[in-house]
Amino acid sequence: MIPQLSIQERDRRYKIVRAEMAKRNIDVLLLPANTGRWEQLQGDSRYLTSLGGFATEVFTVFPREGDVSAYIFNRAGWWKQAQKWVSDVRDGRNRWGENAIERISELGLQKGTIGISGLAGLFRAPEGIIPYSSVKAIQDTFPQAKIVNVTEMMQEIRAVKARKKCRCLNGPHRSSRRPSRRWCRTPILA
């Protein structure tokens, strides 16, 4: 079995992200699949689903209200059983634009504000990581929707670590490189 963070940690993360979405009036987040840079480029999907590893591509649709959906390149059935964070795990078959359109339609958010992480602004991928054809398909299908870049928002949220994660980062090895106190300001729920 793959090591998993707790359901309480999932709920803590979801609460923080959804609160930020509400502040910015974002209805749904699209977190792209991209296994580049040793899977660093799909950190947002992994942060909110715990899915990934083993070069598994994960495209996440994260609504402000409702169930999170994770589209996997393949082996969705295996991933459904390998984790407890996301119950709606589907085979996406690298059709990320179609997957997003399907789920946004199911959620009734065709005229909503769609936040896409990875449009631009990543340190190691300044021009973005989501395929242009996926974004274009979403724009063409939902011309009344507003698309916004949430790359910076997700980077800021992910930079703050839970207390338990800080203990893990510090670890028994007593590394001289400790996480910043700013990273560790958010308490974990028991």
Below-50 pLDDT ranges, the chain: 35-39, 166, 168-169, 173-176, 182-183, 186-190
The amino acid sitting at 16 is: I
User: Listing from the earlier edge strand, what are the strands of the sheet with 146-149?
Assistant: 88-91, 69-72, 58-63, 28-31, 113-116, 146-149
DSSP 71-123: EESS-HHHHHHH-SS-SEEEE-TT-HHHHHHHHHHHHT-TTSEEEETTSS-BT
Task: Give 161's DSSP letter.
Answer: P
pLDDT of res. 123: 67
pLDDT of res. 107: 98
pTM of the full structure: 0.81
Domains of the chain in sequence order: 7-151 (3.40.350.10)
Query: Residue 104: phi, psi to the nearest 5?
Result: -60, -40
The amino acid sitting at 176 is: S
Count H helices, E strands: the chain? 7, 6
pLDDT of res. 44: 86
Cα–Cα distance, 111 to 3 (Å, whole number): 38
pLDDT of res. 75: 81
Contact 150, 173 (CB under 8 A): no
pLDDT of res. 190: 30
